Structure 1
Amino acid sequence: MRKIVLVVAGCFALTGCAGDWEAEVRLKVVKIEEYQPLETLPPEQRIDLDPVGELPEDAFERDYYYGAIKNPAEIDGDVKVGDEVVCLAKQRTIGAFQTNSISTELFQCRKA
């Protein structure tokens, strides 16, 4: 019985830091380029985004946004270099002892 309690307590300790964070963030288009991962695939456009101003203090990982890449089809409105977009950012942590424990996704991006 003690072993079961220790295992359960250990699982809670490993996942105890797990959580979610979500907020709207403002990003600036710094580069639009053609991207072709393989020669057999057609090239596609990619958009490099950098944060405008400071990210909210409660964000889990603040450095993720530098160089965030989006597909132009995922942004409402035509954008060009220098334009700003607003996106819903969602971050999830899966535990303190996992590698790559923070995942960040950008949703509902639109031209500001």
Structure 2
Amino acid sequence: MRRIAAVLVTCLVLTGCAGDWQSEVRLKVSKVEEQPAQPTYAGRTEVWLDLVGELPDDAFDRENFTGRIVEAEEVDGDVEVGDEVVCIAKQRTIGALQTNTVQTDLLRCRKA
């Protein structure tokens, strides 16, 4: 029984305290970049977003949030440089031994 408890404690320590955070955030379009289609590549349009204001205090990764990129299909409607959008930001911690311990996704963006 002690061995099982020791193994469980070790697993918890190695994986860290994984968790999720989610909130709506306001971002400003800093660049819209089109990557043209090639014979072996369909092409796509990327929208570069910078945070407007501050992330809430309970966000996991507040320092590395600037310069997020989403595909144009993630944004409801057409946007241009200077437009502001509101997105749902989801952050997930994936364990202490991973090289990138916080994964950030932007979803359901719409013009503000």
TM band (smaller chain): 0.7 to 0.9
Whether 1:104 aligns to 2:104 is: yes
Query: What amino acid does structure 1 have at the position aligned with 2:72?
Result: P
1:3-32 CA-partner distances (Å, limit 9, x unpaired): 222111111223341111010010000001
Q: TM-score when scaled to structure 1?
A: 0.88
TM-score by length of 2: 0.88
Are the counterparts in 2 of residues 49 and 65 from structure 1 also a CA contact under 8 Å? Answer: no
Partner Cα distance (1:7, 1:37) in 2: 51
User: For 1:37 and 1:67, how far apart are their aligned partners in 2?
Assistant: 24
Runs of 4+ in 1 over 6 A off after TM superposition: none
The 5 Å alignment of 1:15-94 reads 15-35=15-35, 40-94=40-94
Indicate the percent of aligned positions where both proteins have the same amino acid: 58
Decide whether the 8 Å contact of 2:15 with 2:95 is kept in 1. Answer: yes
User: How has the CA–CA distance of structure 1 residues 101 and 39 changed in structure 2, closer, same or farther, with 3 Å as cutoff?
Assistant: farther
Q: Assess if the C-alpha contact under 8 Å between 1:33 and 1:47 holds in 2.
A: yes
